[in-house]
Structure 1
Amino acid sequence: MDHTPLSPRPPRQSAPSDADLRKWRRYLADERAEAAIYRDLAQRRDGEEREILLKLAEAEGRHEQHWIDLLGEHADRPVRPSARRILLRFLARCFGSVFVMALAQRAEGRSPYSSEPAATNAMAADELIHEEVIRGLATRGRARLSGSFRAAVFGANDGLVSNLALIMGIGATGVSSGFVLFSGIAGLLAGALSMGAGEYVSVRSQRELLNATKPTQISLAAAPDLDLNANELVLLYRARGMSQEAAEHRAAERLGHLDCDCDPSLSLQPPEYYENEYEEIGSGWNAAVSSFCFFAAGALVPILPYMFGLQGMAAVLVSLLLVGLALLCTGGIVGLLSGASPAKRAFRQLAIGFGAALATYLLGLAFGTSLG
């Protein structure tokens, strides 16, 4: 979406054409659908997120009224909203998840109002802000989904690519289908165990690093008895990242100098940063189990044709088809979570997976020729 500054809109002089009326009816239907989407999402939220979503629905209602005023008597002939918004509202009603929020973010980013003469500058500016608001809400959801979910998605993708590449390379050497199946099962177990152990060590290391970095509360109880002065405590708090003013205020509090002339709000330094960090990293065991299971599930897909008795080129083609569909799904999910185009990420994932398989297949052909 073009985020260039908005220029003043010239006033409309002529009566609207039939094409204008059709377009405005579509805008009206889309605004109504978007307002309904935000209300449906709000029903699955509480607190601040619910309030924000209801405010967005209220803003879409203002846009809806604009098109009603322009259409006048023609507003009584409603049309269906776009297929994208119909699907989005269905997903919002059924799931209300971060994926729906990510799709809503992309929908706001495609607003045509910046180049629509009949829309006001305020409406175009609203849509730009709405995109950023939804981006913020989607980011909260992505943070809650990172950790174990991240390990699951990428574990499945790694299983798909690595085991497909393995069986393609082994199969190209000319060995029997039974040996290809055995190699695939061995690759599944070895990769799943490696991924699970790696995720556990990674997450545990991150949490241990945070524990080592998180400030202790020794100064709360020990400060009155320590042989140090306020200046040294100031150094302690500045080392933790506080400003000079905040550090001086905190040091005065800890040493009982309650007569300091400081802003009382500086006393409020909740350790939320570390709590959020723990939430985003997740549990080591959860990440390990998710990674193991989803890698194994992904690695199972390429060997399914061999497990059901297919051989030769038929098994290869069916394996490529199954893995291709799975790569498109995982790539699309990653695209949604990152706020990028699901289709672009899906086809990129497909190209990477098939590229790796092609490389090992050619290597297997070379070894098979030399061995033969």
Structure 2
Amino acid sequence: MIHTEHHRSHRTGWLRAAVMGANDGIVSTSSLILGVAAANTTQGDIMLAGIAGLVAGAMSMAAGEYVSVSSQSDTENADLDIERQALAEHYELEQEELAAIYETRGLAPELARQVAEQLMANDALGAHARDEIGITDLSQAHPLQAALSSAATFTIGALLPLLVAWWAPSALLIPLVALFSLLFLALLGAIAARVGGAPILKAAARVMFWGALAMALTSAIGHVFGVIA
């Protein structure tokens, strides 16, 4: 019977984008709602600001993720092109280079050469991409996946404080949005930690702290401008 472990590293690409999107959706929208509400505006104006923030934020997240991950993908492709050319022009030297890498990892010189020969006979570019450059199928950049994941989760995250603001009585809007947003952030941190196999309490506390800080600052700014107005 073959022993296998259930690793979670293959989830890091989409999980990072999804968590960042949902976290930004909750934090930015709740902070915007609290800032506008603290400036003594009507509930209609608060909802309008929140919806505008949702749309702008989702598009910004999608564009930002696509551009940044595309830059990573471009760099990876450029490195692969360099490696293709090196393999075409200096195959033996590339084989020696790969064998040297395996020697530094603990293989005997003769075994390292045999491993390099066999791996390159099967997939020379794949072997060098993985062991020389550090590019694997799990780590390779996927711009569209990151963009869609971030936009979708930002929208879901932003809808949560918006629904609370729509449901809450005007007199209780600020405390209820703040309370529920912190609970949503704690739940997000716990889910992300559970999926990624990380400590749940630490992840929940981390997102709650930064979310509370953002909401407190924007509320203070909204209150100051509300008093000035």
> Normalising TM by the smaller chain, what interval?
0.7 to 0.9
Letter in 1 for 2:16: R
1:52 lines up with 2:3 in the alignment: yes
CA–CA separation in structure 1 for the residues paired with 2:24 and 2:220? 20
CA–CA separation in structure 1 for the residues paired with 2:102 and 2:10? 34
Tell me what 2:38 maps to: 172
Tell me what 2:109 maps to: none
The structure number with the bigger radius of gyration is: 1
Tell me what 2:156 maps to: 297
User: Residues 208-236 of structure 1, C-alpha deviation per residue, up to 9 Å, x if partnerless?
Assistant: 1111112433455556xxxxxx9xx63x6
CA–CA separation in structure 2 for the residues paired with 1:195 and 1:180? 22
Identity of aligned residues (%): 32
Is 1:203–1:281's contact at 8 Å kept on the other side of the alignment?
A: no
Tell me what 2:172 maps to: 314
Letter in 2 for 1:243: A
SS in 2 for 1:175: coil
Tell me what 1:286 maps to: 145
Structure with more relative contact order (C-alpha pairs < 8 Å, separation 6 or more): 2
Is 2:70–2:141's contact at 8 Å kept on the other side of the alignment?
A: no
Change (3 A) 1:264 1:188: same
**Aligned counterpart in structure 2 of residue 243 of structure 1, from 91, 97, 100:** 100
Deviating more after overlay: 331-340 vs 359-368: 331-340
> Greater helix percent: which structure?
2
CA–CA separation in structure 2 for the residues paired with 1:216 and 1:264? 20
Q: How much has 1:154 moved relative to structure 2?
A: 1.6
Tell me what 2:24 maps to: 158
Runs (4 or more) in structure 1 with deviation over 6 Å come to none
After TM superposition, list the pairs within 5 Å mapping 1:124-139 onto structure 2.
137-138=5-6
Tell me what 1:216 maps to: 83
Q: TM-score, normalised by structure 1?
A: 0.50
Deviating more after overlay: 317-326 vs 179-188: 317-326
Q: How much has 1:243 moved relative to structure 2?
A: 2.0
Gap regions ≥5 residues in structure 2: 104-111
Q: How much has 1:338 moved relative to structure 2?
A: 5.2
SS in 1 for 2:2: helix
After TM superposition, list the pairs within 5 Å mapping 1:90-129 onto structure 2.
none
User: Paired residues, what number?
Assistant: 211
Q: How much has 1:315 moved relative to structure 2?
A: 2.3
Is 1:328–1:350's contact at 8 Å kept on the other side of the alignment?
A: yes
Tell me what 1:254 maps to: none
Letter in 2 for 1:167: I
Q: TM-score, normalised by structure 2?
A: 0.78
Q: How much has 1:365 moved relative to structure 2?
A: 1.0
**Aligned counterpart in structure 2 of residue 341 of structure 1, from 179, 199, 224:** 199
CA–CA separation in structure 2 for the residues paired with 1:370 and 1:295? 32
Gap regions ≥5 residues in structure 1: 1-49, 54-136, 224-229, 247-261
